[in-house]
């Protein structure tokens, strides 16, 4: 009982931390900068630039906010169902689930509230779309899921 309680606490805590950091960063940007404005940089690494993304990853499905909002909500429900039905026990699997959920929730909130996602991190050394904290969580979740499957998932295939 105690171990499952501790697991639940760290998962909810990490999810909340990511969503709060994502919301604070996006609200700060929305309230202080104009679209396209560069408001900071890490030399040779990244610019911080306010972008409104009406699409999904790499701006696919641009201007399909209703569809993307519905897909985001379905994604969140699928993660909750996975958590309830599968009841993952391994740390890495739980980490992947938490990161996917937190990132998906962060961007779903934007889509529902603004009809776009606030992006602001623009890498200088790699031609990559502008992204945000929620996107980092989703990518980190994918890495955690891949590591779990490769190194820790012992199911027979």
From residue 10, give the alpha-carbon distance in Å to each of 3, 102, 155.
11, 13, 26
Among the listed residues 119, 122, 127, 153, the single catalytic one is 119
Indicate the pairing of strand 46-53 with strand 117-123.
Answer: antiparallel
The question of whether 110 is a catalytic residue gets the answer: no
Question: Which run of H or E residues covers position 157?
Answer: none
Q: Which region holds residue 40: left if phi is over 0, alpha if psi is between -120 and 50, else beta? A: left
The question of whether 135 is a catalytic residue gets the answer: yes
Among the listed residues 22, 122, 135, 153, the single catalytic one is 135
> Using an 8 Å Cβ cutoff, are 70 and 104 in contact?
no
CA distance 23 to 30: 10
For the annotated catalytic residues, the residue numbers are 119, 135
């Amino acid at each position: 009982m105690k171990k499952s309680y501790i697991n639940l606490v760290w998962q909810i805590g990490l999810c909340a931390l990511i969503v709060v950091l994502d919301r604070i960063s996006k609200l700060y940007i929305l309230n202080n900068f104009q679209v396209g404005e560069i408001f900071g940089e890490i030399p040779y690494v990244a610019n911080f630039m306010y972008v409104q993304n009406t699409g999904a990853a790499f701006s696919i499905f641009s201007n399909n906010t209703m569809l993307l909002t519905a897909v985001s909500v379905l994604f969140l429900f699928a993660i909750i169902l996975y958590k309830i039905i599968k009841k993952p026990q391994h740390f890495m699997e739980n980490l992947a689930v938490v990161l996917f959920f937190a990132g998906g929730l962060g961007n779903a909130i934007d889509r529902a509230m603004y009809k776009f996602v606030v992006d602001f991190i623009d890498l200088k050394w790699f031609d990559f779309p502008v992204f945000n904290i929620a996107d980092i969580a989703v990518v980190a979740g994918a890495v955690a899921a891949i590591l779990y499957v490769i190194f820790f998932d012992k199911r027979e295939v």
